[in-house]
Structure 1
Amino acid sequence: MTTAAATFSLILLNGGVGARVGAGQPKQLLKLRGIPILVYTLVTADRLPQVGQIVVNFPEGWRREIEEVLDAYAISTPITLVPGAPTRHSSVREMLPHCEYDQVLLHESARPLATSADFTRLIDSPWQNVALMSPIPFTVAPVDPETHMVTGSLDRARLRNVQLPQKFRRSDLVAAHEKALSEGIEYTEDATLVADAGFPVHFLDGSDTNLKVTSPTDVRMATVLLQGERDRDV
């Protein structure tokens, strides 16, 4: 659903195959409660009046199946389909030129439990660049993978588990990707990318239920969590 108040493009990362799930198809097409994983974020975004465009990428060879999902669930927000790139980092970079708005929300279809409240908190935040992040509930340590040596210690209180969705000023995100490209650096997510490029990035506390579906166990956990939601109407 869009109105004149729309000020955001949503980049929805959807180009991975998700081989670890072992389903013989992209994991975003797997069904939770009888509904493709991809649909949960699409429906959530479709209900946000601030989102005027959704840019979705797709795995090579799977465009028709993604289009069938979009048609079946009658998403009213304008959608731009973009071929998937070799990496997550390059996918965002190649989707950015298709964004029509000066503000960007970034999410991935593999996180179907992100709610409209999660997106709204980012949208309403006074910060231009902000990500959901959650405390790390376990101890982590820096190591040398080659020697199997522990090389020091890390203060858990100063670390966060990076989540999505995230919000960025489009020009900041574009500049950060251009800088990374010129330096030959690839990132696994964009909050640290933008921060390393010299732009201020803030965080809001996320939720431990906003999990990323990457394995069969995650599929089962997401199904249970979705069954517990009474306000999710997809």
Structure 2
Amino acid sequence: MKKVAVIVAGGSGVRMNTNLPKQFILLKGKPVLYYTISAFLKAYDDIKIILVLPEEHISAGQEIIDAFFDYSKITITAGGRTRFHSVQNGLKLIDEESIIFVHDGVRCLLSKELIQNCYNAALEFGSAIPVINSKDSLRIISSEDNEALDRERVKLVQTPQAFHSKILLPAFEIDYKEKFTDEATVVEAFGLKVHLIEGEVENIKITQPVDLIVAEHLLSV
């Protein structure tokens, strides 16, 4: 089946203490976004990539594509005011039955095995949401109290989240709600259950300076 990766890279550099958006920060001499795109192209030769960027940074994204990749496999489109709307903009460019991956542009350390596992699970179950266990103790806070949660029943959610196009495309036609923090929550609001698979501890999201140090180490191993 056809494969499409919608890579959403709309972050800023606020928590990185820089004016440069996180996806363009250099990691071992190459932009973070380079590693993200490269992972999908290594996983599947026939994959199509839709790169969703803030309108003001489209030219910077195009420079990365021109420098490192076959531009015929990658399309750039402008993002929206929220992640939901950015993904929605990317999905508008898909008109064929396919397995669709939606991935955070700054999760640059994912393996081709994780991508392939998501694809295979989405083929079988209609969706694939990678999750990992929490290593920390957890508490839920209310207005009056706080209580410990059983961390064995809590999972940390990652991307790529993969879906059959017959599920994801109609799901994103529903009205936006603030609770939509990822694609799984949108699909659930559409009335469907999602299938969880094992994620990767190394599949970190670059959000703070320490994450760059960890990522550089992992890329050097």
TM-score for both structures, normalised by structure 2: 0.90
The equivalent residue for 2:130 is 132
- For the Cα contact (< 8 Å) 1:131–1:191, is it kept in 2? yes
Residue in 1 that maps onto 2:198: 205
Alpha-carbon separation, structure 2, partners of 1:218 and 1:49: 27
Tell me how far apart the structure 2 counterparts of residues 81 and 133 of structure 1 sit (CA, whole Å). Answer: 28
**Alignment partners' CA distance in 2, 1:66 and 1:99:** 20
Alignment of 1:172-211 (within 5 A): 172-181=167-176, 184-211=177-204
Q: Does 1:62 align with 2:57?
A: yes
Amino acid at match of 1:123: Y
1:58 CA displacement: 1.3
Structure 1 residues 10 and 131: CA distance shift in structure 2, 3 A: same
**Per-residue deviation, 1:50:** 6.2
Tell me if structure 2 keeps the 8 A contact 1:105–1:167.
yes
4+ residue runs over 6 A deviation: none
TM-score by length of 1: 0.86
CA change 1:51–1:192 in 2 (3 A) is: farther
**8 Å Cα contact 1:129/1:202 also seen in 2:** yes
Report the Cα offset of residue 128 of structure 1. 1.3
Which region of structure 1 is more displaced relative to structure 2, 47-56 or 78-87? 47-56
Q: What SS does structure 1 have at the residue aligned with 2:43?
A: coil
Counterpart Cα distance in 2 of 1:76 and 1:91: 21
Amino acid at match of 2:129: A
Q: What CA deviation, in whole Å up to 9, does each residue of 1:66-111 have, x standing for no partner? A: 1111000023552121112111121112211112442201111100
Q: Hey, what does 1:111 align to over in structure 2?
A: 107
SS of the residue corresponding to residue 178 of structure 1 reads coil
Q: Secondary structure at the match of 1:63?
A: helix
Whole-angstrom distance in 1 between the partners of 2:46 and 2:21: 25
CA distance in 2 between partners of 1:196 and 1:153 (Å): 27
Structure 2 counterpart of 1:227, which letter? S
Counterpart of 2:158 in 1: which secondary structure?
strand
Residue 89 of structure 1 contacts residue 186 of structure 1 at CA under 8 Å; is this kept in 2?
no
Structure 2 residue 217 is matched with structure 1 residue 224:
yes
1:3 maps to what in 2?
none
Deviation track 1:4-62 (CA, whole Å, cap 9, x = no partner) reads xx611110011222321122211111111111100112112223336431111112311
Q: CA deviation at 1:171?
A: 2.7
- The answer to whether the Cα contact below 8 Å between 1:129 and 1:169 also exists between their aligned partners in 2 is yes
1:92 alignment partner in structure 2: 87
Amino acid corresponding to residue 110 of structure 1 in structure 2: V
Q: Separation in 2 of the partners of 1:121 and 1:77?
A: 25
Query: What are structure 2's unaligned runs of at least 5 residues?
Result: none
